[in-house]
């Protein structure tokens, strides 16, 4: 497959803000708006959870505090993997998440975060901002009554931390591994048992 054609159909690497409908426009003298944002991430994961807090502060500053977004950690309002449903049913106005958590609803969700052998962080940012990626994703999200805004990019994930040394591919057979999205399907071919676990539950699961 030609690279340009592939990039036109696939993406990777983003955590995003998913909001019900379109983001409001502000004019001088406009009304005050207060939103609740449900994150999929725990407060302890400040490298990712903190991105939503930074975004919230910037939105407030840009609107003279007329648009305020209160950020809630995963589990405070809804479960970490319940944020898309929460936006759809109006429980919250926005969510900050990694869309590949929801690839069970539709595999296209995985393209909006990370897929195996795909783009790196800089390539993803460039494609989404200048190659039509953002527009393609929002066409997809329309069916969920969601408007998407990129809000972070962690790039490729690490290979893994294992309780026992892995010397050969055969050593992977039967291992339970926390891995999300389509990558779980790939590594499952090696005998690994993929587990989709919220970020805040990974360490207790290892224990």
78 and 162 part of one domain: no
Tokens, residue 79: 């479960």
190 and 89 part of one domain: no
Identify the weakest region by mean pLDDT among 22-31, 89-98, 126-135.
22-31
Closest among 3, 66, 76, 89 to 38, alpha carbons compared: 76
Secondary structure element (H or E) that encloses residue 136, with its range: helix 133-141
3-state secondary structure of 135: helix
Tokens, residue 183: 């990558």
**Could you tell me the pLDDT band of residue 26, with boundaries at 50, 70 and 90?**
low
107 and 169 part of one domain: no
3-state secondary structure of 162: coil
**Could you tell me the pLDDT band of residue 8, with boundaries at 50, 70 and 90?**
very low
Tokens, residue 122: 């800089």
What's 19's domain CATH number? 3.40.190.170
Q: Is position 119 within any domain?
A: yes
- Taking only the tens place, the pLDDT of each residue in 52-100 is 999 999 999 999 999 999 999 999 999 999 999 999 999 999 999 999 9
Closest among 112, 84, 65 to 20, alpha carbons compared: 84
Q: For residue 83, give every residue at least 6 positions away whose Cβ sits within 8 Å of its Cβ, in sequence order, or none.
A: 18, 38, 39, 40, 74, 92, 95, 96, 97
116 and 184 part of one domain: no
pTM (2 decimals)? 0.79
Q: Which has the higher per-residue pLDDT, 43 or 117?
A: 43
CA-CA distance, 189 to 137, in Å (whole number)?
Answer: 29
Q: What is the pLDDT of residue 5?
A: 41
- Taking only the tens place, the pLDDT of each residue in 148-205 is 999 888 777 667 788 889 999 999 999 999 887 788 888 899 999 999 888 888 888 8
71 and 135 part of one domain: yes
Classify residue 161 as left (phi > 0), alpha (psi -120 to 50) or beta.
beta
100 and 32 part of one domain: yes
| Number of domains the chain is built from | 2
Q: Is position 205 within any domain?
A: no
């Amino acid at each position: 497959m030609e690279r340009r054609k592939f990039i036109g159909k696939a993406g990777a690497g983003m955590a995003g803000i998913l909001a019900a409908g379109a983001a409001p426009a502000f004019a001088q003298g406009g009304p005050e708006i207060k939103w609740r944002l449900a994150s999929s991430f725990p407060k302890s994961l400040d490298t990712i959870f903190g991105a939503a807090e930074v975004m919230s502060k910037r939105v407030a500053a840009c609107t003279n505090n007329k648009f305020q977004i209160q950020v809630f950690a995963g589990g405070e309002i809804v479960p970490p993997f319940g944020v898309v449903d929460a936006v759809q049913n109006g429980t919250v106005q926005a969510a900050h998440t990694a869309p590949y958590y929801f690839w069970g609803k539709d595999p296209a969700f995985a393209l909006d975060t990370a897929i195996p052998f795909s783009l790196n962080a800089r390539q993803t940012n460039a494609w989404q901002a200048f190659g039509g990626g953002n527009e393609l994703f929002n066409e997809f999200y329309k069916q969920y009554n969601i408007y998407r805004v990129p809000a972070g990019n962690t790039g490729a994930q690490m290979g893994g931390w294992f309780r026992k040394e892995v010397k050969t591919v055969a050593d992977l057979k039967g291992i339970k591994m926390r891995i999300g999205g389509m990558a779980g399907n790939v590594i499952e071919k090696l005998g690994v048992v993929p587990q989709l676990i919220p970020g805040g539950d990974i360490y207790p699961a290892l224990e």
